[in-house]
Amino acid sequence: MSSDLLRLSSLFVRTLREDPADAEVASHRLLVRAGYIRRAAPGIYTWLPLGLRVLAKVEAVVREEMTAAGAQEVHFPALLPREPYETTGRWTEYGPNLFRLTDRKDGDYLLAPTHEEMFTLLVKDLYSSYKDLPVTLFQIQTKYRDEARPRAGLIRGREFVMKDAYSFDTTDAGLDASYAAQRAAYQRIFDRLGLEYVVVAATSGAMGGSRSEEFLTPTPIGEDTFVRSPGGYAANVEAVVTPVPEAIDATDAPAAHVEETPGTPTIDSLVAFANAHHARDDRPWTAADTLKNVVLAVTHPDGRREIVVVGLPGDRGVDLKRAGAAFEPAEVEPATDADFAAHPELVKGYIGPRAFGPSVADERPQVDESVADNVTARQPVRYLLDPRVVSGTRWITGADEDGRHVFDLVAGRDFSADGAIEAAEVRAGDPAPDGSGPLELARGIEIGHIFQLGRKYAQALGLTVLDENGKQVVVTMGSYGIGVTRVLAALAEANHDDAGLAWPAHVAPAHVHVVATGKDAAVFEEAERISGELVARGVEVIYDDRPKVSPGVKFKDAELLGVPVLLVVGRGLADGVVELRARMGEAEQAPVADAVDRAVERVQQLLG
Amino acid sequence: MSSDLLRLSSLFVRTLREDPADAEVASHRLLVRAGYIRRAAPGIYTWLPLGLRVLAKVEAVVREEMTAAGAQEVHFPALLPREPYETTGRWTEYGPNLFRLTDRKDGDYLLAPTHEEMFTLLVKDLYSSYKDLPVTLFQIQTKYRDEARPRAGLIRGREFVMKDAYSFDTTDAGLDASYAAQRAAYQRIFDRLGLEYVVVAATSGAMGGSRSEEFLTPTPIGEDTFVRSPGGYAANVEAVVTPVPEAIDATDAPAAHVEETPGTPTIDSLVAFANAHHARDDRPWTAADTLKNVVLAVTHPDGRREIVVVGLPGDRGVDLKRAGAAFEPAEVEPATDADFAAHPELVKGYIGPRAFGPSVADERPQVDESVADNVTARQPVRYLLDPRVVSGTRWITGADEDGRHVFDLVAGRDFSADGAIEAAEVRAGDPAPDGSGPLELARGIEIGHIFQLGRKYAQALGLTVLDENGKQVVVTMGSYGIGVTRVLAALAEANHDDAGLAWPAHVAPAHVHVVATGKDAAVFEEAERISGELVARGVEVIYDDRPKVSPGVKFKDAELLGVPVLLVVGRGLADGVVELRARMGEAEQAPVADAVDRAVERVQQLLG
C-alpha cells in the first residue's frame, strides 16, 4: 500500500462535530475537529497522521529555501546544560518562561527556548579563521517556552517547532549581506506557502542586537499590533519611532505658576477645571496641553524593582507592551499602592516633573534606546519623557502637592529628564516617522523574525577568528527564526470557512479527496480504480471508502479536512459521470473516462 | 547550489586528527573526529550537517518500511504531564532514569523515555469499536533517559532518537499477526541498512508483557550478552531458561548430618575441607556438590527493601543482570553489611536453606516468572532456588551456624523454597533449553525490541472497545522500538577501519567523494565539471575543492569521512586519466571521459 493513498476506512483520524471547549480561534478549532492535532497538555500538542503530513510539507519548503540560500542544516539537543546560558545571562533573564530541571547528579539543565549560545559555541568549536566565514547554519527543531498563557492552539504553545538560523560574519557589511539573503529566503518561503505577510520594523527583544524585522501575517486574531502607512512604512507597534517635533522658542513664554486645582486627579477633571478657572483666549485647554506622569514599576532580571515615571502628553496613555519593549529584558507593570507608599514624593494625581530634580535649561531629552541599562540615574526615581515633549513646549502638570498644578511649565527651561522613552500608545492617524503619511493599525501573527544580533553573543562566549592581519576579531551574527508550527496554524487561519479547512495545495495533506457514495459496489470499484490511478500519477489521495457512512457525513468530513480537490463517485456513475469540485468552488460533471485527467490537471494548476 | 553537491571549502565540518578524550568505542571516536556529531553534554549530542544527512537516511528507511507494513505515523510531545505515567505506575518505577520537572504553575512534567501511555490514550480518544482495529501507530521522536552512566557516544545517550510503534488489537491472534508484521518489517529495515542482526528471545523488562524479542547486532563492544546454539536457539542472557533436570529418586540417600567445618566461609575452602575430612569414595567433592546461598537486596518501586536469598549450585555465581531482570521493575544489588545486621539468622558464609522454614517433602520448586509481584512469601526473607536444584539432589550447604555445614541435605526431602529464579550465570557450553546444543556466548548492541505488551496499559488506562456482541473488551497491545541514533552508531561500528568510517552506500552522507589534488587550475575545473555531472545524474557528491590543502590531508579526510566511492582528479589528468577507488578497495585508473559513467555505475551497484 502506498503511503499516498489514505483510506478513510483505516486512516487514524476521527472528525469531531463539536468545537473543543478551549478553542478560541479557527485554526485551533478546526485542526482539532478535523483530527490533525490533539491536546496533550496546555500548549502541548500531539500530531495525528494528517497534521504530520502538513507539518512535513511546511518543513520541506522551509528546508529547501534555507538550503537554496546557502544555509547548512544542523540539529541541536533540546536538553541543554545551564552553563552557556549562564554566561550570556539568559538563564536568569528568561525568568519563568524557561523550563529548568536538574539531572540525577543535580546538574542544572534547561529545555532550550532558542539556541543562540549553542550555535555560537559550535562555530567557535569548529572555526578559527576569517576564511571560514561567512557561514549560515539552521535547524528545524522542537523548542520549549513555559508561556504564562499558552493560547490559540499552535499559535502560542509551550512545545513547538521552530526553524532557527544564525549567520556568522567578520564584518558589518558581511552581516548585512547574510541578513539580506535570509530576508529574501523568507519572502520565497512565505510566497511558496501562499501566506500573506507584511515585513515590519521590530525591536529585537531579549535577544539584543540592532536591525530587526518581523514577518507578520495579517489576521484579526493576531496577538501583535502593527502599523503601516500609505507610503510603505510598516512596523511592529513596539518598534514605532515617534517623529520628534522641532524645538519651540519659548523666550516669551510666561513664567511657570502654581495654581490651586482642587479635586483634579485625572486629566479630564484637570482640563475641565482649567477651562472653568483659567480659560485661554485663543481656544479651550485640551488634554494635549497637559503633561501626564505615569508611574511604572520595572523588575530587572536580577530581581531589583525600580520606579520609573514616564511623562507624556495627557491625551495619550502608556502602552505597556511598548514600555515593556523599551525596558527589555526587564519586566514592566503599573506601580502598586506599595510602590507609591515607598515614594511619598510621588503625589498620586498631582505628579510633576519638578519632583525629579533641578530645572536644566537648554537640555533636550535624547532618545535613549537602552534605558534598561542606564541605571546611573541621578534620582532614585528615573524620569523619562515622551519624544513629543521637546524643548520649549508648555504644559499644565502636577505641582507635586495634593490639589495643585503648575501652569506654563516649559520643557528645557523649567524641567528636564533622565532620558526619553517610546512608551506612549500609537494611534491610527499618527504620522509615520519617515514622513510617508498617517499610520493605520492592524493585527497580525508573527511568523518570522530576522535580526542582526551583532557581536553580543560572540563577545560573551569568546567567538573570535583571525582576520587577514592575524588579529583576533569578534564575529558578528544574525538570527533568523520561523515558527514552523505557528506557520501551519496561520495557514489554517488564512484558509478556512465555517465548514472546515481549505489547504493550499502545496501543504494539503493530500491533493484529491475521492468520495464514494451509496452502496453500489460498482461505485466503490470505480472510486478505487480512480484513486489508484491518481496515486500512480503522483497525486496524493484521501479515499473515503467507508462502506456504511452516509454521503452527508462524507461531504461534511471532506469539507472539514480541507483537501483542495474533491472527486465524487456516486449515482452519476450510472450515467457515466463523476463530480469534480474545488474545496471552495463550483461542482463540475466529468465523464468517468476523463476523471483522472481532469483531477490531475486541477492539481497541477493548483501546484503551479 | 544543489544541496547534494557538498563543497569541502564551505561545508560546515572540521575533521580532528586526535581522538576525543571520552571516546571508548570506534563509532563514537570516528563520528566525532569526522565531524558528524559533537558532544553538548554527557550523553547529549549535536548533529552536524554530515551526521544529520546519515540520520535522515536511516530514518527514511525506517519510515518507509513502517509505512509499508501498514503502520501510520504520528508524533507525540517529549514534554508530558505526570498524570498518565502516574496511572500506570511508571512515574515512580522509572526512578532516577526519568527527567522530571515542574512548570511555572508547579505542575509535574517529565521528558518521555517511551510513550506507551500516550499511544494508549490517543487510541482511546479516537477509537471505540472493534471495527476500528487493528491499528499500528508509530513515531520517530526524540526521547530522554537520565542514564546513570551515559557511554559509548550515541550507543547509550540521554537524548536520543527512537522509532517507537504500538499495535492495537482486540484478540490475541490479532496481536500475534501485528507482531509478526512488525517483526518482518524489522528484518527488512536491518537488511536494507546492511546491518547484521540476531533475533534473540528477551525478557520484557519494565514494560511488562509476554512475548519479547530483541534485535541485536553482534559486536565485541556491545553492552548485551546473548547466547546462541548450533541448532538456532538465541536469547538475551537475561532470557535464557535453564533446562530443568529430571528429579532424582533419593529414597536411599543417607540422612542429613551437620559437620564441624571451621574456617570454610567460601566454596573453595569448603570443598577443600570436605575432601580432606569427609572424602568420598567414588570421586572428589567439587563446587558443584555444594549449594551456595547468595543474599540479595531488592528495592521495590515503592521504596521497600526486601532481602532475598538465592540458592544455586556452588560452581556458579549469580548474574546480577539476570537477577535484575527477574525482579523488574525492582532493582537488585548484593546485600550490604547493614542488611546482614538486620537479619542475624543469615550467618555469612554458612547460610543454608533450613533457615527458611520447615522441610517440605515432595514439593518441587516451580519457576515463578513474577517473583517481583509475589510478596506473599511465608518468610520475612524469601528463598528462591536455581532450577537445577531439583527434588532429590543432595548438597553440602551451610548449617546456619558459624563453622558448620550440613551434608547430604536433599532437596524436596530436607528443604524447599518460596519459588524458583533464573539468576545463575549462563556459561558457554550450557545446554540450550530447546535441546539444540551447547550455547555459545557473544556480545551485541540492542538495535530493536519487539514485544507483546498485552493488556497491561489498556487495562490501566481504560482502553476498551465494543466487540461484535456489544461488549466492552480490553484492547491488547504490542510495542516495537528501534533506537535510530543507536542504529547509526552500530552502522559506524560495523563499517570502519583504523583510518575512518566506511558507510554502506544507502546511508552514506554522499555517494562519491571527489578529490582535486595539486594546484593546477585545469584539475579543479575538471573536478568541478565531474562533480556537477554526477549531481545532475542524481549522485550525491562531496567535492574537496579546498585550494591549499595537501593531497595527503585530503585523502586522510576522505578516509575519515567514509564516503563509499572516491574519485581523484590529479596529476593523471595530464594523461587523460582519473582514479576511482572504493573506500576499502583497490584503485582503478579510468579515462576522464568515462569518469562519470564509471562512478555512476559503481554507485548503482552499491545501492543495489
A222-254 pLDDT per residue, tens: 989 999 999 999 999 988 989 999 999 989 999
Determine the pLDDT at residue A204.
57
Residue B426 lies in a domain: no
Partner residue opposite A125 with nearest CB, options B11, B38, B103: B38
B266 and B338 both lie in a single domain: yes
Give the pLDDT mean for A149-164: 94
* Distance (Å, whole) CA A147 – CA B104: 8
Interchain pair B101, A104: CB under 8 A: no
Partner residue opposite A144 with nearest CB, options B79, B118, B148: B79
B440-470 pLDDT per residue, tens: 999 999 999 999 999 999 999 999 999 999 9
All residues of chain B having their beta carbon less than 8 Å from the beta carbon of residue A122 are 38, 46, 48
B8-29 pLDDT per residue, tens: 999 999 999 999 888 889 999 9
What three-state secondary structure class fits A432? coil
A560-591 pLDDT per residue, tens: 999 999 999 999 999 999 999 999 888 999 99
B207 and B287 both lie in a single domain: no
Q: How many CB pairs under 8 A join A and B?
A: 138
All residues of chain A having their beta carbon less than 8 Å from the beta carbon of residue B145 are none
* Distance (Å, whole) CA A343 – CA A227: 37
Residue A6 lies in a domain: no
Strand partners, B420: B367, B385
CB under 8 A, 24+ apart: contacts of A584-592: A584/A497, A584/A502, A592/A526
Interchain pair B10, A159: CB under 8 A: no
Residue A18 lies in a domain: no
The pairing of beta strand A79-81 with beta strand A99-102: unpaired
B176 and B271 both lie in a single domain: no
What three-state secondary structure class fits A509? coil
**Residue the block writes with cell 595539486:** B518
Interchain pair A46, B11: CB under 8 A: no
- Whole-prediction pTM: 0.88
Domain extent at residue A275:
257-420
Answer yes or no: is pLDDT of B358 > 70.
no
**Under a CB-based contact definition with an 8 Å cutoff, are residues A177 and A168 in contact?**
no
Q: Which of A155-159, A314-318, A376-380, B92-96 has the lowest mean pLDDT?
A: A376-380
What mean pLDDT value characterizes chain B? 92
Q: Min CA distance, A390 vs chain B (Å)?
A: 43
Partner residue opposite B47 with nearest CB, options A74, A81, A97: A74
All residues of chain B having their beta carbon less than 8 Å from the beta carbon of residue A81 are 40-41
Please give the order of strands across the beta sheet that includes A291-299: A331-334, A291-299, A305-313, A382-385, A419-420
- B204 band by pLDDT with thresholds 50, 70 and 90: low
Task: Give the residue from A301, A57, A321, A69 showing the smallest Cα distance to A185.
Answer: A69
Residue A498 lies in a domain: no
Interchain pair A41, B81: CB under 8 A: yes
Q: What is the CATH number of the domain that holds A64?
A: 3.30.930.10
Task: Give the residue from B253, B262, B256, B330 showing the smallest Cα distance to B297.
Answer: B330
Number of C-alpha atoms within 13 angstroms, CB side, residue B8? 29
Partner residue opposite B46 with nearest CB, options A13, A118, A148: A118
Give the pLDDT mean for B371-388: 66
Answer yes or no: is pLDDT of B30 > 90.
yes
B353 and B274 both lie in a single domain: yes
All residues of chain B having their beta carbon less than 8 Å from the beta carbon of residue A78 are 78, 142, 159
A493-524 pLDDT per residue, tens: 999 999 999 999 999 999 999 999 999 999 99
Answer yes or no: is pLDDT of A451 > 90.
yes
Q: Which of A174-178, B333-337, B357-361 has the lowest mean pLDDT?
A: B357-361
Q: Min CA distance, A373 vs chain B (Å)?
A: 27
Give the pLDDT mean for B411-416: 92
Partner residue opposite A75 with nearest CB, options B14, B52, B148: B52
**What single string gives the DSSP state of each residue in B466-503?**
E-TTS-EEE-EEEEEEEEHHHHHHHHHHHSEETTEE--
Residue B20 lies in a domain: no
Determine the pLDDT at residue B208.
46
Q: Which of A135-149, A368-382, B543-557 has the lowest mean pLDDT?
A: A368-382
Interchain pair A12, B68: CB under 8 A: no
Rounded to the nearest 10°, the torsion over CA B66, B70, B73, B74 is -130
Q: How far is CA A247 from CA A287, A292, A352, A395, in A?
A: 20, 20, 21, 14
Name the burial class of residue B467, with classes exposed (0-12), middle (13-18) and buried (19+) by CB atoms within 10 angstroms of its CB: middle
Percentage of residues in chain A having pLDDT higher than 70 = 95
Partner residue opposite A80 with nearest CB, options B41, B68, B75: B41
Q: Which of B6, B80, B101, B147 to mutate to test the interface with A (most CBs of A within 10 A)?
A: B101
The pairing of beta strand B79-81 with beta strand B72-73: unpaired
All cell numbers assigned to B493: 561500528
All residues of chain B having their beta carbon less than 8 Å from the beta carbon of residue A112 are none
B140-176 pLDDT per residue, tens: 999 999 998 898 899 999 999 999 999 999 999 999 9
B51 and B148 both lie in a single domain: yes
**Under a CB-based contact definition with an 8 Å cutoff, are residues A503 and A490 in contact?**
no
Q: Min CA distance, B49 vs chain A (Å)?
A: 5
What's the domain count of chain B?
Answer: 3
- A357 band by pLDDT with thresholds 50, 70 and 90: low
B237-289 pLDDT per residue, tens: 988 889 899 999 988 889 999 999 999 999 999 999 999 999 989 999 999 99
Strand partners, B543: B7, B514
Using only C-alpha atoms, what is the Rg of chain A? Answer: 30
All residues of chain A having their beta carbon less than 8 Å from the beta carbon of residue B159 are 77-79
Name the burial class of residue A102, with classes exposed (0-12), middle (13-18) and buried (19+) by CB atoms within 10 angstroms of its CB: middle
Task: Give the residue from B504, B497, B582 showing the smallest Cα distance to B29.
Answer: B497
Give the pLDDT mean for A320-340: 91
Q: What is the CATH number of the domain that holds B603?
A: 3.40.50.800
Give residue B155's identity as a one-letter amino acid code.
I
A289 and A353 both lie in a single domain: yes
**Which distant-in-sequence residues (6+ apart) come within 8 Å of A473 by Cβ?**
A130, A170, A464, A465, A466, A467
Partner residue opposite B75 with nearest CB, options A10, A52, A99: A52
Q: Beta strands of B30-71 (E only): which ranges?
A: 37-41, 44-47
| Chain CA centroid to CA B578, Å | 45
Q: How far is CA A567 from CA A570, A592, A596, B599, in A?
A: 10, 11, 9, 46
Q: Min CA distance, A109 vs chain B (Å)?
A: 10
Residue A450 lies in a domain: yes
Answer yes or no: is pLDDT of B366 > 70.
no
Name the helix (H) or strand (E) containing B524: helix B521-536
B413 and B319 both lie in a single domain: yes
B370 and B458 both lie in a single domain: no
Determine the pLDDT at residue A300.
86
* Distance (Å, whole) CA B192 – CA B510: 17
B460 and B516 both lie in a single domain: no
Q: Which of B13, B73, B79 to mutate to test the interface with A (most CBs of A within 10 A)?
A: B79
All cell numbers assigned to A301: 532580571
A204 against A172, higher pLDDT = A172
Q: Min CA distance, B469 vs chain A (Å)?
A: 19
* Distance (Å, whole) CA A111 – CA B102: 12
Residue ending a domain, choose from A429, A461, A493: A493
**Under a CB-based contact definition with an 8 Å cutoff, are residues A22 and A37 in contact?**
no
DSSP code at position A329: T
**Residue the block writes with cell 471505540:** B128
Strand partners, A404: A260, A401
* Distance (Å, whole) CA A390 – CA B458: 71
Number of neighbours of residue B246 by Cβ within 10 angstroms? 8
* Distance (Å, whole) CA B608 – CA B596: 18
Phi, psi angles (nearest 5°) of residue A523:
-60, -50
Answer yes or no: is pLDDT of A90 > 50.
yes
| Chain CA centroid to CA B509, Å | 26
Determine the pLDDT at residue A575.
95
Residues in chain B: 608
**Under a CB-based contact definition with an 8 Å cutoff, are residues B566 and B558 in contact?**
yes
Q: Min CA distance, A316 vs chain B (Å)?
A: 35
DSSP code at position A194: T
Q: Min CA distance, A263 vs chain B (Å)?
A: 43
Q: Beta strands of B411-540 (E only): which ranges?
A: 419-420, 440-454, 464-466, 472-474, 476-483, 496-497, 500-501, 512-516
Phi, psi angles (nearest 5°) of residue A408:
55, 35
A469 and A323 both lie in a single domain: no
Determine the pLDDT at residue B3.
61
B114-144 pLDDT per residue, tens: 999 999 999 999 999 999 999 999 999 999 9
A473 and A519 both lie in a single domain: no
**Which distant-in-sequence residues (6+ apart) come within 8 Å of A353 by Cβ?**
A291, A293, A311, A383, A397, A409, A414, A415, A416, A417
All residues of chain A having their beta carbon less than 8 Å from the beta carbon of residue B72 are 11-12, 49
Q: Which of A79, A97, A465, A540 to mutate to test the interface with B (most CBs of B within 10 A)?
A: A79
Q: Min CA distance, B94 vs chain A (Å)?
A: 12
Interchain pair A1, B70: CB under 8 A: yes
Residue A44 lies in a domain: yes
Interchain pair A41, B101: CB under 8 A: no
Number of neighbours of residue B281 by Cβ within 10 angstroms? 4
B225 and B175 both lie in a single domain: yes
Q: What is the CATH number of the domain that holds A282?
A: 3.90.960.10
A379-390 pLDDT per residue, tens: 478 999 999 999
* Distance (Å, whole) CA B567 – CA B545: 13
Residue B398 lies in a domain: yes
All cell numbers assigned to A47: 500530531
